[in-house]
Amino acid sequence: MDILHLVDRLEELFNESRPIPFTNNVVVDEDRMLDLIDQMRVAIPEEVKKAQKLMAERDRTLAQAQEEAARTIRLAREKSEGMIERDAIVEAAQARSEQILEQAKLDAEATRREADEYVLEALTNLEIEMERSLNQVRNGIRALQQTHAARNTPPARAAAPAPVATKSEDE
């Protein structure tokens, strides 16, 4: 299951929770919360697998570019060896093969850079989403712990309620 969908479900569970009067606390369905947390534990490794697949694709693209460069160099060398009859032709072929080699190197480097940028962007986005999800889960746990602690504190000794994470724009 998609991690973003699970985050949306977690937010939905939070929004559906019942508020405790005169506090910022809410009552959350424990079974649904734990179920979502379990699903997230399963989904996060899938997101990591996707990132690894992207990295493998990048490596494959780089290997193809290097193979193409080697093939181009080989073809250039074969052509230059076949044209040894005249010095001018040989020199021109060598110059052209060097140009092709240089261009192939530039193309391979550009492909490598683009692949690295793409993977970095994908991993950065995944990290941001995972941090956001983790913060939401931690806030939910903290709220549940505080609710649980408030229920287990004897009324005569109860202090002012501890602040609980509330819904905010960035969650």
* Strand runs labelled E in the chain: 18-19, 26-27
Domain boundary assignment for the chain: 3-149
Residue pair 4/133 in contact by the 8 Å Cβ criterion: no
**pLDDT value, residue 140:** 92
**pLDDT value, residue 125:** 87
**pLDDT value, residue 169:** 47
**pLDDT value, residue 154:** 66
* Cβ neighbours of 86 (radius 10 Å): 10
Two structure tokens written together for 92: 């021109």
**pLDDT value, residue 143:** 92
DSSP conformation letters of 8-54 = HHHHHHHHHSEEPTTSS-EE--HHHHHHHHHHHHHHHHHHHHHHHHH
Low-confidence ranges of the chain (pLDDT < 70): 1, 82-86, 90, 154-171
